[in-house]
Amino acid sequence: MTIETADGRNEGASVEERRLERAVKLQELEVRRREAEKASLIAKSPWWRRADPLVMAVLASFLALIGNMVVAVYNNNTTTHQEEQKNANVLEQQKQKAKDDLALATQQARYTLILRAIATSDLDGAQRNINFFIDSGLLDDQDHRIAAALEKFKPVLPAAGGSSGVPQPLPVPDIAKIYNFPPGLDGAGQTVGILEFGGGYREADLATYFAAAHLPKPDVTSVSVDGAANDPNSNAGINGQVTLNVEIIGSLAPKAAIRVYFAPLSDRGFVDAIKRATADHVSVISIGWGSPESEWSPAALRETDAALKAAAGQGITVVVAAGDGGVTDLVKDGHRHVDFPASSPWVLAVGGTETIAREQRLVSEIAWSDKDGSFATGGGVSDLFSQPDWQAHANVPLRNAGSSGRGVPDVAAVASPKSGALLVVDGKQTLLGGTSISAPIWAGLILLMNQGLGHNVGYLTPRLYQEIGPAGVMRAITEGDNSIGGVKGYSAGPGWNAVAGWGSPDGTKLLNWLRTHP
């Protein structure tokens, strides 16, 4: 048994055991001393070296989060700066555009003012106005080129009352000038028969109109057919139709005798009016009336066509309006139709155009078609009359049934109410249009050509297709169509077309051609 003393020694242990025990004790003391030194060093070292690894990990995560936030704030500030710069650039561009727009509007306003100032037929007045704009600084002409050009070239200025690019109503004498009717002719020795089927004309209207036009009042005779008579009180709505024929033809051929044949509006009245005018040996018959082919009875159509053939056989030119119902002739079946008697092969069918004129000169001319689709020039292919031999090379389209037929119209003239004729009807100046004014324009021209040639041109239509048209004597109409009511119409173009035929007249050119090609 061993006894351990208070200091931890074993009394009963041998010397060797006690030496070993002391060595162990010393080692323990050395370990404790080193731990104390280590603790002392840790206490004196920086905090990050003393931190627990977990704490350090948390701290590292926190620092990373702070770093990301700083980067995000930096990027956001950079993006915001870029956006602000972009917005500033856009704002600057908008300011510049507004400045440019204002400058353009100011320039346009100046030139609009200038154009209005020169909208006059008086060249001297226009030059004074332009000089005013130059002197006031509204128009830059430091090198005097504008003033010099005006003086040298004397340009045709816009007609008063409208832009040169807008159709304007025309006095009938101006219509004669834009179509270059032959000068020095007045229709003397010629007689025209105008067929009417209701209403009438007033002598007071004729007197007012021709006095205002500074033209002699023509010799007008009313002829009764089958009991009908000149009666402007019977149907005021038709008075314009009657009066326009007299005033237009009387303006174009003031010395021609005008006979107005009043007949009942019936199949018999139509035939009898043609026969009566033919029997009276008129040189031209002008007809502004007609109906879709489908509305004529076969018997009435045959008899009317026979009367027209007889007139042509006697050397009478029968001029007929092609109608104002466009490609459908106002028939509501969705198909194409043409008007009769315009579709008769024995007549000269006249389509309609819209013109722009300036200073009594034709600037442009297109096929007539109202923008709202309510009216347009008639034109197309007959369903009832076969294609005449003289139309064989005119490239006439096929008709509804897919076969060939008589193409309509043959020629054209102004018809649009926008550029129509200024006339006097029922005591008031009236603007009238439609192919009802196109037909008497051609009737008046033929009266002048008959006078100039010394004989009737007569049945002119075959020569028109075989010689006159291909020779380029007419003014070709190459723009526009006669679509209406959702039905696609025919388009104008070079040569003959089913909208304006061979085109509108150059009267002097046509007369000269006929003189050299008897």
pLDDT reading at 121 higher than 50: no
432, 244 contact by CB (below 8 A): yes
Which residues face 221 on adjacent strands? 259
Instruction: Give the C-alpha distances (Å, rounded to integers) separating 171 from 157, 357, 388, 423, 424.
Output: 19, 12, 37, 8, 11
Q: 465: which DSSP letter?
A: I
Q: Between 118 and 487, whose confidence is greater?
A: 487
Q: Nearest 5°: phi and psi at 76?
A: -65, -40
319, 277 contact by CB (below 8 A): no
Q: With CA atoms as reference, report the closest residue to 404 among 389, 417, 419.
A: 389
Q: Between 501 and 75, whose confidence is greater?
A: 501
The confidence score (pLDDT) of residue 24 equals 67
Q: Nearest 5°: phi and psi at 367?
A: -60, 140
What H or E segment, with its residue span, contains residue 348? Answer: strand 348-358
Per residue in 366-394, pLDDT (tens digit) is 999 997 778 999 999 999 999 999 999 99
* 361-367 and 348-358 beta bridge pairing: antiparallel
Per residue in 289-326, pLDDT (tens digit) is 999 999 999 999 999 999 999 999 999 999 999 999 99
Name the pLDDT band for 351 (thresholds 50, 70, 90).
very high
Mean residue pLDDT across the chain: 84
The confidence score (pLDDT) of residue 390 equals 97
Return the residue matching tokens 């208070």.
6
The average pLDDT across 80-89 equals 74
pTM of the prediction? 0.70
The confidence score (pLDDT) of residue 420 equals 87
Per residue in 392-442, pLDDT (tens digit) is 999 999 987 788 999 999 999 999 999 889 999 999 988 899 999 999 999
Q: What is the CA radius of gyration of the chain?
A: 49
Listed in sequence order, the DSSP H helices in 226-349 are 236-252, 267-279, 298-313
The confidence score (pLDDT) of residue 158 equals 43
